[in-house]
Structure 1
Amino acid sequence: MEVKQAFTDFLEIIPDGAVVINTEGLIVAVNQAAATMFGYSSSSMLEMPLNCLLPEEFREKHDEHLVKFFKHPGRRSMGNGLIFPAVRRDGSKFYVDIMLNQMEIDGELFGIAIARDYTLLKKAEDKIRLELEFEKRQALTDHLTGIMNRRAFTAQLTDEITQLEQHGTPFAVSFIDLDDFKEINDEYGHQYGDEVLQKIAELIRLHSRHTDYVARIGGDEFATIHPMIAASDAEQMMERLRAELVSGIGHAKLPVTLSIGLCQCDKPSEHYTVENIMARADRAMYQAKKEGKNAVVLTG
């Protein structure tokens, strides 16, 4: 039975490109999917050397691999890292993902290659990767203000604790609460309240260092992480931040002030946790409210 007769019907039910070669490296059977992929007709590919489907600079090395392939029977699964450079009839280059196997028919050995256009796979993979990255950013971003959400803040705070324990790197955490924000919602409506929150987030980010982390962790509560900073510097920085925010709020004609609780973390042996740091900063923030609001209170 001729090889073409043995393979043709079988190859056409394969959705990917399929090429059968003999031990001399000549194509003896090919399906329409492979012909379309490489820009030929099926009949024109018969008896063509397989290396004609490769860029010229790869042909000599490919011929060496082909000899080894027939000397050492085996198979290589698709998606297992065998990506070949290829060239279409019009000279355009692309990459294909190959699955290889051998068959013996009537005592004669053949190689069968199932090929997928890796360019298309790469585009699909890139699309999936971008979608996953977008979903990840969405999962870590506050939908209203565009800054970090509580989940992202907690993850970053965990990293800072690790840096302190392992390398002694100090940091500070602040809780920022809008004074009497409920009254703003009650008097002006929730849409205006949302606009206030967006403006406050923008001002906090604007007046923080580029190495700082800014998050919205609740309705009208914000938090910041300030890596590599001493207690005195942290307090001065937060006081400047509060003053700048109040000034910015005034220019924007936003009817709010801010109470800020600041927790300094600089003792590697303290065994800080996310929960106790947040609790300390929260207590300091409420202390600021008790002392008349619109103030910064530091705790260790």
Structure 2
Amino acid sequence: MYLSAETRLKAILEGTGAGTWEFNLDTEEVIFNDRWAGMLGYTLEELAPISFQTWSQLCHPDDVQAAYLALDSYLGGHSPQYECVLRMQHKDGNWRYIHTRGAVFASRQGTHARWLMGTHLDVTEEKRRQRQLQQLAESLPGVIYTFAMDSQGQYGFPFVSRKAEEFYGVDADAAMANPQLLFDCIHPDDLPRVHESIITSANTLEQWSCDYRIVRECGTQWVRGTSQPERDPDGSITWHGVITNIDDQKRLEQKLEHLAITDELTGLYNLRYLLMKLDECAAETERYGTTFSVASLDIDYFKSVNDRWGHPTGDRVLQGIAELLRQRTRRADIVARTGGEEFIALMPRTGPDDARHLMETLRNDLAEKVFTSDSGDAFSVTLSAGVASWSEHTNAVSLLLSACDRSLYAAKHAGRNCVLIDSR
């Protein structure tokens, strides 16, 4: 069945609910259809006589200038069509958001008349939903975003909420225009892991979740990104998700982790952490053929310190020895408090002679250190130490620790205040 162009156009307008307008750029004559008036609650008869002022008087005064600027941009060749969204007042007094589009049509009848013709669509509900989404995004304690990556690996942010500036220090519009701005804020040590996790999520279509640090002038903060990917018909992947601040959570985790591996009184590592590191050193030695040494230290006659000057003074002695251990051992060494006055030092990639020399230096420094009791009495303490190194006779952590203890007992039986090496 043949349909005329006029019939087809009328059907399209009926289906879309669009109002039409025509504006003569030279004479300012205007023509509106019934639907144009109907979307504002009027009939054309109620708005008669129809003129350019009919339109301008119905427009919100704050939006008229934006419409003129859009028209100038189009007529100046800077925009492909005349387009803007402005508020127009409904007959009931409410403001409706109207999306207007148009283009110039030059008459072919020799009159050289220039007509700007286009449509009006009521997008009020769409605007309301957008505003509700924006308000929701602003109220949530995180950045709402959509991230997309095509089959060639090109990526971008079709949507980023304004919270991006609070988190990243990057304006949301700037982030959507240049997605690299957000990635540039990620800590360099975390960036490879973030990229890898995105690729994994794209390949598996499993939820993306990643903790990483953002670096800003005001400092570093931990965030967690979570989103669900979906594959689009063109092969691209789109993630919709949220980024939240987990700084407090990370600090708590780090504090709990620190408490789990350290001694509360001295701040040194505890036995649990030391044993874990001993296993790691043993595995490294087995693989690469290196060696390492362990020294077991015990404060001589420490019970007499507590008995004579009290436990608070004894605690200060232990803390002073711990500080001395931190100062005299190397960064790679692991020092732990394993009992009341007992300590163990793990020295990676260190042979027996170097380990003994290190312990002798520590022993001499401690013998010269002066402590003071609550009553003002000055006193000093000494230590005994036993050293053992990984070898064919001590090729298990339990054997190594036993050898270390034997050397310590031998040092105590030799008169204390000395360092002995396991001779086996």
| Distance of aligned partners of 1:227 and 1:117 in 2 relative to their CA distance in 1, 3 Å threshold | closer
Residue 65 of structure 2 corresponds to: none
- In structure 2, the partner of 1:282 is 405
Deviation, structure 1 residue 297: 0.8
Q: Does 1:163 align with 2:278?
A: no
Q: 2:421 — aligned with what?
A: 298
1:189 paired residue number: 310
User: Is the Cα–Cα contact under 8 Å of residues 78 and 98 in structure 1 kept in the other structure?
Assistant: no
Which of these residues, 360, 363, 367, is aligned with residue 239 of structure 1?
360
Of residues 246, 260, 278, the one that matches 1:139 is 260
Contact 2:352 2:387 in 1 (8 A): no
Q: Matches of residues 184-263 of structure 1 in structure 2 within 5 Å?
A: 184-249=305-370, 253-263=378-388
Report the secondary structure of 1:142's partner residue: coil
Give the alignment's TM-score, normalised by structure 1. Answer: 0.63
> 1:264 corresponds to which letter in structure 2?
S
Match of residue 23 from structure 1: none
Distance 1:33 1:229, change over 3 A: same
| Cα distance in 2, alignment partners of residues 117 and 169 from structure 1 | 47
Q: 2:249 aligns with which of 128, 133, 144?
A: 128
Q: What residue number does 1:22 align with?
A: none
Contact 1:261 1:288 in 2 (8 A): yes
Structure 1 residues 55 and 222: CA distance shift in structure 2, 3 A: same
SS in 2 for 1:177: strand
Aligned pair in 2 of structure 1 residues 37, 176: CA closer, same or farther (>3 Å)?
Answer: same
Cα gap change, 1:129/1:240 in structure 2, threshold over 3 Å: closer, same or farther? same
CA contact (8 A) 1:204 1:245 kept: no
Higher helix share: 1
Is residue 134 of structure 2 the alignment partner of residue 35 of structure 1?
yes
- Residue 153, structure 1, aligned to residue 280, structure 2: no
- Unaligned stretches of 5+ residues in structure 2: 1-122, 140-157, 161-171, 180-204, 211-223, 231-237
Label 1:56 to 1:234 Cα distance change in 2 as closer, same or farther (>3 A). Answer: closer
Matched, 1:55 2:176: no
**What is the identity, as a one-letter code, of the residue corresponding to 1:143?**
E
- Residue 97 to residue 254, structure 1, CA distance change in 2 (3 Å): same
Deviations 1:202-238 (A, max 9, x none): 1111111222111101110011011112222222222
Change (3 A) 1:57 1:260: closer
Between the aligned partners of 1:162 and 1:78, the Cα distance in structure 2 is 35
Q: Which has the larger radius of gyration?
A: 2
- Measured on the aligned residues, the alpha-carbon RMSD in Å equals 3.8
C-alpha distance 33-179 of structure 1, shift in aligned 2 (>3 A):
farther
Unpaired runs of 5+ residues, structure 1, are 1-25, 41-50, 62-76, 83-94, 102-112
The structure whose RCO (Cα within 8 Å, separation 6+) is larger is: 1
CA shift, 1:58, in A, is 3.9
Structure 1 residues 155 and 57, CA gap change in structure 2 (3 angstroms): closer
Amino acid at match of 1:34: L
| Shift, 1:160, TM fit | 1.0
**Are the aligned partners of 2:408 and 2:420 in contact in 1 as well (CA < 8 Å)?**
yes
Cα offset, 1:260, TM superposition: 0.5
Residues 249 and 286 of structure 1: CA distance in aligned 2, closer, same or farther (over 3 Å): farther
Per the alignment, in what secondary structure is the counterpart of residue 307 of structure 2? helix
**Segment of structure 1 superposing worse, 200-209 or 137-146:** 200-209
Distance 1:291 1:37, change over 3 A: same
The alpha carbon displacement at 1:277 in A equals 1.6
Structure 1 residues 201, 57: CA separation in 2 closer, same or farther (over 3 Å shift)?
closer
CA distance in 2 between partners of 1:96 and 1:234 (Å): 47
Kindly provide the CA deviation profile for residues 113-139 of structure 1, in whole angstroms up to 9, marking residues without a partner as x: 997652xx2x13x33222112111110
Normalising by structure 2, we get a TM-score of: 0.46
8 Å contact from structure 1 (residues 288, 296) kept in 2: yes
Aligned AA for 1:260?
Answer: A
AA paired with 2:257? Answer: K
The Cα offsets for residues 13-57 of structure 1, whole Å up to 9 and x where unpaired, read as xxxxxxxxxxxxx873738762314569xxxxxxxxxx6877377
2:89 corresponds in structure 1 to none
CA distance in 1, matches of 2:138, 2:399: 66
TM-aligned CA distance change 1:114 to 1:292, over 3 Å: closer
User: In the aligned structure 1, how far is the partner of 2:208 from the partner of 2:419?
Assistant: 58
Distance 1:294 1:35, change over 3 A: same
